[in-house]
Chain A
Amino acid sequence: MSAPHPQLDAQGNLKHFLTIDGLSRELLVEILDRAEGFLGVAQQAVKKVPLCRGKVIANLFFENSTRTRTTFELAAKRLSADVLNLNISTSATAKGETLLDTLRNLEAMHVDMFVVRHATSGAAHFIAAHANPHVSIINAGDGRHSHPTQGMLDMFTIRRHKPDFTRLRVAIVGDILHSRVARSQILALTTLGVPEIRVIAPRTLLPSHVEDAFGVRAFHDLREGIRDVDVVIMLRIQRERMNSALLPSEHEYFYLFGLTEKRLSVACPDAIVMHPGPINRGVEMDSQVADGSRSVILEQVSNGIAIRMAVMSMCLGTQNLNSQREYTA
C-alpha cells in the first residue's frame, strides 16, 4: 500500500517486521517454516541456539504487556541474544522525553533490534523511518494498526491443525474496530489464500467499510457467522469498552456473542477455537470452550515463541535453518 517498501532491504530480505501488509505469501510461508524448525528448541535440554549471539535486542514497551513481552524475551534468549527490557510507559516519556529521544539514547548503546509496543497506530513505522539504518524494528503492537507476530503465530497455529489455507473458512469474533490483532490476522489469512474470512460483531465494534477495506464478510449474528467455519478466533474485549456507548454490558455481550459449546456446534465438527489472550471467561467464551478439546489457546502461546524466534533471526540476517520443512499449499 505504501510506496517504497518499508520492511524489506534492497535484496528483498526482511529488515523490519512492522505489518503483514505488503509482504508476499512466500515470505509468510518462510516465516512459518522457520518457526517450525524452532519449535524443537523448547524440547532440548539446553533451550538455546546460537543464531543471534552477540546481538543486543531491546524490548521497548510503551504499553503494558506481560505475555507478549515475555515471549519476545524468551525468543531472544533462545537465540542467545542479550536482552534489555524497558517499560517506557513509566519512565522516560513521563518525564517529557520524546519517542525519538528515547530511541536515540538506546541507539547510542548499540542496540541491534528494537521490539516496540506503543499505544499509537503508526508508531512502529515512525520508529523504523527514523532509526539508524543498521537497526531492525519489530512491531509488537501499535495502537489499532498492527501486531504482525501475533498474526503470524495464529497462522502457525492454524497451519499445524489445518495445513491447507486455501480451503478454510475463518471467523473472527469481537472488537474488530480496536483490534490490531484482527487486522494482522485478516491480512495474513488473505495473503496465505484463505477464501472466506468473516468478522462477527455488533456494528459498534466493526470499523467502517470493513468489508471493502479487507474483503471480508461482516455478520452481526454469532450463530450465522460461525456456521461451517474451520477456525473461530475470539478477540479480547477490553473492560473499558463495557458500560460505554459501544457496549451496554458484559451480560448482553456474552448473551449475543459469547462462545459456548452449544453455539460452537454449528461450526465444522473439527473446528478449532483461538484467542490471543488474556481471556475474559464468561464474556468472550465460557470455560467449557476455553478449556475444551477444540481450544488451541495455550498452543498459541508456545507457538508465539517460535514465530518470534523466526522473525527475529530473519531480521537479524542469520542463515537459513536446515530444518526447514516444505508445506505445499
Chain B
Amino acid sequence: MTHPPRLSLCHGRLIDPANGIDDILDLHLADGRVFAIGDTPDGFVPSRILDAQGLVICPGFVDLCARLREPGHEQKATIASETRAAAASGITTLCCPPDTFPVIDTPAVAQLIQQTAKRLGFARVLPAGAVTQGLEGRKITEMAALKRAGCPVLSQSDRPIRNTQVQRRALEYAATFGLNVFLHPQDPDLSEGGCVHEGLISTRLGLPGIPEASETVAVARDLALAEQTGAQIHFRGLSTARGVAMLADARRRGIRASGDVSLHQLFLTDTDVASFDANYHLIPPLRTRADRDALRIALANGDLSAICSDHQPHDADAKLAPFPETAPGISTFETLLPLALRLVADGVLDLAGVIERLTVSPARILSRNLGHLTLGAPADICIFDPHATWIPQADTLISQGYHSPFLGQAMQGRVVWTLLGGNLVFELNRRLPKRTTGVRFAPDPQEQPADCAPATAAL
C-alpha cells in the first residue's frame, strides 16, 4: 500500500461552498486529507505541485444516483468502467441504486460492490439498500443490517411500492434506524406503459404518455406518509413544476423531505422527443418548458437541494428498437460538469451555488461528512478548467455506455485532475491504468447529521 503523496495545488480558484470560500488560495494535502489552505505551512514539502493557474479547485462531486450495472448487468457497464468514468468527471462519491442483479437487499451484495470499488480505487461507491426484498414491494429488507453493511440510504429505485401500507411500514422501519429513503415519485398505475410526458408531443406522436399526475399523486402520498410517520424521505429526480411546489410547501411545514433533479431535466424538454430518438427516452420523462423552468428556479432557491447525474449506461441493443421499446436512461457522467456550468452561464446559479449542489448538499442527503474541504477532511477534490471546450463523442467517452443526446455538442468546462483521498485518480490527457495500484484512501466518514432533524425526533 502506498500512502497518498503530499500535494500542493497552487494558483487555482478555490471554491468550497461549505466553508464559504471562493478565492485564489493554495491547497496542501497530506495523508489523504486537507492539511492546509493558503500559504505553505513551515516544513511542508510536497512531492508534487499541481499548477492550477486559471483552474477551479473544488470538492469532488457527490452523485446521488448513478448506475454501475454490476453485479448482474455487466453487458451494459461494470464498476470498473463506470468508476473510471466518474473519476474523469470529477465525481468522487456516488450512490448506486439497488436495482442490480441480485438486488442490493442483503449485506453481501452491498459489501461486494463496496469491496470491488475499493479495490479499483477510482471513487467512493455507496450502495443504496433496497427498501423491499427483491424490490418487489411486498416484504421489507433487513434495513439495520444494510446500514451496518455501509448503505447510507435506502431506495426502491424506479420500482415504486404499489401497496401504501407496505410503503408506510417501510418508512417507519427505516426511520427506526435514521435511514433516509430515496423515492422515485411515480404512480405505477398512472405511468404504466408510458414513455413520454403526456401532453402535446405524446398526442402528436401517438406515444403512450405519463401524466404529470403520475408524479404529483406519488409525491402527495409519500409526503402524507412522511408527515404521518416522521420518516425522512428524499425525492429522487423530480420532473414537474407541481411536484416541486408540493415538496417546497411540505418543507416549509417541517416535513422531513428533500429532493433533487437530474441535470438533463434542466436542459431538455418533451419537444426533443419529436424524432423518436431513443436518447430522449427518460424516466421520469422530459416534461414541458414550463416544468423545466420551474425546476431551475427550485434548484436556485434551494427547494431542490442537489443536482444528480442519474447516469444510466446501456449496451447498444438496449437502445436499438422503436422508441417505446428502448430502455430509458442515458450516460451522463462526463457531461455533468459542462452542463452544470451552463447553469452558471444561463444565470440560474453562481459557480459556488452550482458546486454546492454538486458536493456538500448531496453529501448531507447521504448523511456523509464529505463534499467539503475543511482542514482534516478527506482530500476528494475536483480541479477543472471552466473555459476548456471539447466535444463528447461516443468513441471517446470513458463510460461503457455512450447513449447521450449531448454527443457532438460543444461543451465548455473540463475536469483536469481528480483526487480521491489525496490520490490522483484522473489526469486529463494521461492514460490511467485499468485500476489504481494499491491506493489507500481515507475511510468513509461515518454519518453526520443531515440537514434535517435527528432521526430520534421521529420516534
Q: Which residues does A use to contact B, with CB under 8 Å?
A: 1-3, 6, 21, 98-100, 118, 120-123, 125-126, 130, 142-146, 180, 183, 207-210, 212-214
Could you tell me the distance between the alpha carbons of A264 and B321 in the complex, rounded to whole angstroms?
44
* Known A122-B276, A125-B276; contact A209-B207, beta-carbon cutoff 8 A: no
Chain A nearest Cβ from B1, distance in angstroms = 48
Could you tell me the distance between the alpha carbons of A2 and B272 in the complex, rounded to whole angstroms?
9
Chain A nearest Cβ from B259, distance in angstroms = 25
> Which residue in A98, A99, A214 is a CB contact (below 8 Å) of B204?
A214
Within 8 A of A (CB), among B185-224: 198-200, 202-209, 211
* Contact between A209 and B323, CB atoms less than 8 A apart: no
Could you tell me the distance between the alpha carbons of A121 and B275 in the complex, rounded to whole angstroms?
12
8 shortest interchain CB distances as A-B pairs: A144-B206, A2-B275, A145-B206, A207-B203, A122-B276, A122-B323, A213-B203, A123-B322
Residues of A within 8 A of B51 (CB): none
B324 within 8 A of A: yes
B391 within 8 A of A: no
Residues of B within 8 A of A130 (CB): 320
B346 within 8 A of A: no
* Contact between A6 and B206, CB atoms less than 8 A apart: no
Could you tell me the distance between the alpha carbons of A123 and B276 in the complex, rounded to whole angstroms?
9
Could you tell me the distance between the alpha carbons of A146 and B207 in the complex, rounded to whole angstroms?
11
Residues of A within 8 A of B321 (CB): 98-100, 126
Residues of A within 8 A of B208 (CB): 121, 144
> Which residue in B198, B207, B320 is a CB contact (below 8 Å) of A121?
B207
Could you tell me the distance between the alpha carbons of A156 and B198 in the complex, rounded to whole angstroms?
32
* Known A121-B205, A121-B206, A145-B205; contact A99-B322, beta-carbon cutoff 8 A: yes
Q: Which residue of A lies closest to B198 (CB)?
A: A208
B274 within 8 A of A: yes
Could you tell me the distance between the alpha carbons of A144 and B193 in the complex, rounded to whole angstroms?
13
B136 within 8 A of A: no
Could you tell me the distance between the alpha carbons of A1 and B211 in the complex, rounded to whole angstroms?
22
* Known A208-B209, A208-B211; contact A142-B199, beta-carbon cutoff 8 A: no
* Contact between A212 and B200, CB atoms less than 8 A apart: yes
Q: Which residue of A lies closest to B211 (CB)?
A: A208
Chain A nearest Cβ from B271, distance in angstroms = 9
How many contacts between A and B, using CB within 8 angstroms?
A: 79
Residues of A within 8 A of B322 (CB): 99, 118, 120-123, 125-126, 142-143
Contacts A180-B206, A208-B202 supplied; 13 other A-B pairs, CB < 8 Å:
A2-B274, A121-B206, A121-B208, A121-B324, A122-B324, A123-B322, A130-B320, A143-B207, A143-B324, A144-B208, A145-B207, A183-B204, A209-B203
Residues of A within 8 A of B323 (CB): 120-122, 125-126
Chain A nearest Cβ from B285, distance in angstroms = 13
Could you tell me the distance between the alpha carbons of A99 and B278 in the complex, rounded to whole angstroms?
15
* Known A120-B324, A126-B321, A143-B206; contact A213-B200, beta-carbon cutoff 8 A: yes
Chain A nearest Cβ from B211, distance in angstroms = 7
B317 within 8 A of A: yes
Q: Which residue of B lies closest to A18 (CB)?
A: B276
Residues of A within 8 A of B206 (CB): 121, 142-146, 180, 183
Residue among B205, B208, B211 with most chain A CB within 10 A: B205
B23 within 8 A of A: no
- For chain B, the count of residues having a C-beta within 8 Å of the partner chain is 22
Chain A nearest Cβ from B68, distance in angstroms = 26
B325 within 8 A of A: yes
Q: Could you write out 5 A-B pairs with CB less than 8 Å apart?
A: A2-B274, A120-B324, A142-B206, A208-B203, A209-B199
Type the 1/0 row for B245-278, where 1 means its CB is closer than 8 Å to any CB of A. Answer: 0000000000000000000000000000011100
Chain A nearest Cβ from B310, distance in angstroms = 23
* Known A121-B323, A126-B323, A143-B324; contact A207-B202, beta-carbon cutoff 8 A: yes
Residues of B within 8 A of A213 (CB): 200, 203-204
Could you tell me the distance between the alpha carbons of A122 and B211 in the complex, rounded to whole angstroms?
20
Residues of A within 8 A of B320 (CB): 98, 100, 130
Could you tell me the distance between the alpha carbons of A121 and B205 in the complex, rounded to whole angstroms?
7
Residues of B within 8 A of A183 (CB): 204, 206
Q: Which residue of B lies closest to A176 (CB)?
A: B203
* Known A118-B322, A121-B323, A208-B198; contact A126-B204, beta-carbon cutoff 8 A: no
Chain B nearest Cβ from A210, distance in angstroms = 6
Could you tell me the distance between the alpha carbons of A6 and B275 in the complex, rounded to whole angstroms?
9
Q: Which residue of B lies closest to A120 (CB)?
A: B322
Type the 1/0 row for B309-336, where 1 means its CB is closer than 8 Å to any CB of A. Answer: 0000000010011111100000000000
Q: Which residue of A lies closest to B209 (CB)?
A: A208
Q: Which residue of B lies closest to A125 (CB)?
A: B276
> Which residue in B198, B203, B274 is a CB contact (below 8 Å) of A1?
B274
Could you tell me the distance between the alpha carbons of A212 and B198 in the complex, rounded to whole angstroms?
13
Could you tell me the distance between the alpha carbons of A2 and B274 in the complex, rounded to whole angstroms?
6
* Known A6-B275, A209-B199; contact A1-B325, beta-carbon cutoff 8 A: no
Could you tell me the distance between the alpha carbons of A6 and B277 in the complex, rounded to whole angstroms?
12
Could you tell me the distance between the alpha carbons of A210 and B204 in the complex, rounded to whole angstroms?
8
Q: Which residue of A lies closest to B204 (CB)?
A: A213
> Which residue in A3, A98, A122 is a CB contact (below 8 Å) of B207?
A122
Residues of B within 8 A of A99 (CB): 321-322
Residue among B207, B276, B320 with most chain A CB within 10 A: B276
Q: Which residue of B lies closest to A186 (CB)?
A: B204
Residue among B203, B320, B325 with most chain A CB within 10 A: B203
Could you tell me the distance between the alpha carbons of A122 and B277 in the complex, rounded to whole angstroms?
9
Chain A nearest Cβ from B162, distance in angstroms = 17
Chain A nearest Cβ from B202, distance in angstroms = 7
Could you tell me the distance between the alpha carbons of A89 and B354 in the complex, rounded to whole angstroms?
51
Q: Which residue of A lies closest to B317 (CB)?
A: A98
Q: Which residue of A lies closest to B324 (CB)?
A: A120
Chain A nearest Cβ from B141, distance in angstroms = 33
Could you tell me the distance between the alpha carbons of A144 and B207 in the complex, rounded to whole angstroms?
7
Residues of B within 8 A of A180 (CB): 206
Within 8 A of A (CB), among B263-308: 274-276
